[in-house]
């Protein structure tokens, strides 16, 4: 079953009264495809701003990993389309088992793309060498919250320690407040492919988080706030 087929339509859209396709339980809003897509873009832009912005350089590095990558790249393309000479450096894990789609034709023609491969621990060095001052991850709310919950359950405190790295490259996670189900609908609305490999499975941490969130929609957001609070206290 496709991820968006798991989302049941309900009341009229909060913004236009058209039939809704998604019930945003954490906000209490029912939204149609168009207004859900607009809401996602607004929240992604706000997160980018709060995390330090896209910088002033003409190169932005984006890690090609996870189901949020294509919709994130699409949103970033619309955000920087008016900036002349923009380049997207796509960072891919150097693995023979990984197959990546390099069709980025959905981006504005003014944006140049190039693919750089390497081990994830070398991405910072590759970005600096490529003259980027931002590395952007496509981790969604589900993925970020699952990582926090997994660290809590395993007793791994290292995840909660704020990095003391003073490198000139800032790491952004613009999708950290966007549920994967919303990105699936965004992809359908914008005719983008969506990789459902990251769907929750029963029996693992993400499946447990999904079960918690069904009755308590604010749980993923609370986990991220808890992580950030611990990191602040650990400074």
SS3 assignment, position 124? helix
Q: How many domains does the chain have?
A: 1
Q: What is the CATH number of the domain that holds 169?
A: 3.40.50.620
* CA–CA dist 163, 5 (Å, integer): 39
- Phi, psi torsion values for 146, nearest 5 degrees: -65, -40
Max Cα–Cα distance, the chain, nearest Å: 51
State the residue for tokens 């459902």.
196
Sequence-distant (≥ 6) Cβ neighbours of residue 68 within 8 angstroms: 138, 139, 140, 143, 175, 178, 180, 183
Host domain of residue 139? 3-233
- Sequential pLDDT tens for the chain (235 residues): 444 444 555 689 999 989 999 999 889 899 999 999 999 999 999 999 999 999 989 999 999 988 999 999 999 999 999 999 999 999 998 875 555 778 899 999 999 999 999 998 899 999 999 999 999 999 999 999 998 888 888 877 666 655 545 467 899 999 999 999 999 999 999 999 987 655 545 458 878 888 888 888 889 999 999 888 887 776 5
Q: How far apart are CA 217 and CA 105, in angstroms?
A: 36
């Amino acid at each position: 079953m496709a991820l968006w087929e798991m989302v049941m339509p309900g009341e009229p859209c909060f913004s236009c009264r058209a039939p809704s396709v998604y019930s945003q339980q954490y906000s209490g809003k029912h939204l149609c495809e168009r207004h859900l897509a607009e809401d996602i873009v607004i929240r992604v832009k706000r997160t980018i701003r709060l995390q330090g912005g896209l910088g002033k350089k003409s190169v932005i590095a984006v890690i090609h990993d996870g189901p949020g990558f294509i919709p994130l790249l699409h949103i970033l393309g619309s955000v920087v389309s008016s900036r002349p000479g923009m380049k997207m450096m796509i960072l891919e894990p150097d693995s023979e088992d990984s197959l990546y789609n390099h069709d980025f034709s959905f981006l504005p023609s003014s944006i140049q793309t190039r693919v750089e491969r390497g081990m994830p621990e070398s991405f910072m060095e590759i970005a600096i060498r490529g003259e980027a001052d931002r590395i952007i991850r496509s981790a969604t709310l589900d993925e970020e919250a699952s990582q926090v919950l997994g660290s809590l359950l395993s007793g791994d405190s290292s995840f909660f320690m704020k990095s003391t790295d003073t490198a000139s490259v800032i790491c952004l996670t613009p999708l950290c407040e966007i549920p994967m189900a919303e990105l699936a609908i965004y992809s359908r609305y914008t005719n983008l492919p969506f990789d459902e490999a990251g769907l929750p499975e029963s029996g693992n941490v993400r499946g447990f988080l999904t079960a918690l969130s069904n009755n308590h929609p604010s749980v993923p957001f609370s986990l991220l706030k808890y992580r950030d609070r611990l990191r602040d206290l650990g400074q």
